[in-house]
Structure 1
């Protein structure tokens, strides 16, 4: 009897672990799609698409950006204004996902973006799910690699 109980418990545990792994892989794919949509919208300066993937509290945190001292914070509104004015965005990159980590309704993505004729970037993106369970980028920590 003891063997049967242990076997049943192990089976239930394995089923739960298997489901969690499948669920997490699905979440990682959703996060990846959101990041790709963000990159595509920035490449085309598509403000409408950016509005859907950027969280209302989105911030760019640029540390020592292009050799400047200190950290620069850029709000969502300022970022979209810079995008509209052609000061940022407009370049396509080849993306290499280095890491995607999902914990419940929060995710972190480490990604390398290789430019064709432009500077390459290494970014850490942080995403959250909104009340409709849609992933949105809430924070962008870029490092320009010349």
Structure 2
């Protein structure tokens, strides 16, 4: 078949779907877990409302910040990892966490992290969102199942 095999086309489709879905899923789950943890540590009557808001906030943050980071940084990192033969889930989890915390480190720098009440929880939520996004990408893309000829 001209233009690549069905497996190659499926690989590209899974890569794009993974790059778009992973940061959104990661943001939603991480923000939800952070609100649940906050609700356990400081019980509130508004916990259910805050949970709903956190899911929406995670979706929006994942779409606005995570998707561009996934496309601009995540895709090249995936291609590099694939080229180097790195295909295991824990590698993608770590890569996702590092990619997610990169914008925080670049944009906020030490000023945000100097405030432990804001910086530490924010850094943890970014790391968690990135790790969840990395696993989500790996589950959608499944680079461990690639054939050698596939290059996406």
| TM-score bracket for this pair, using the shorter chain length | 0.3 to 0.5
By percentage of residues, which structure has more helix? Answer: 2
Greater relative contact order (Cα 8 A, min sep 6): structure 1 or 2?
Answer: 2
TM-score, length of structure 2 as denominator length: 0.35
Q: State the TM-score, normalized to the length of structure 1.
A: 0.36
Bigger Cα Rg: 1
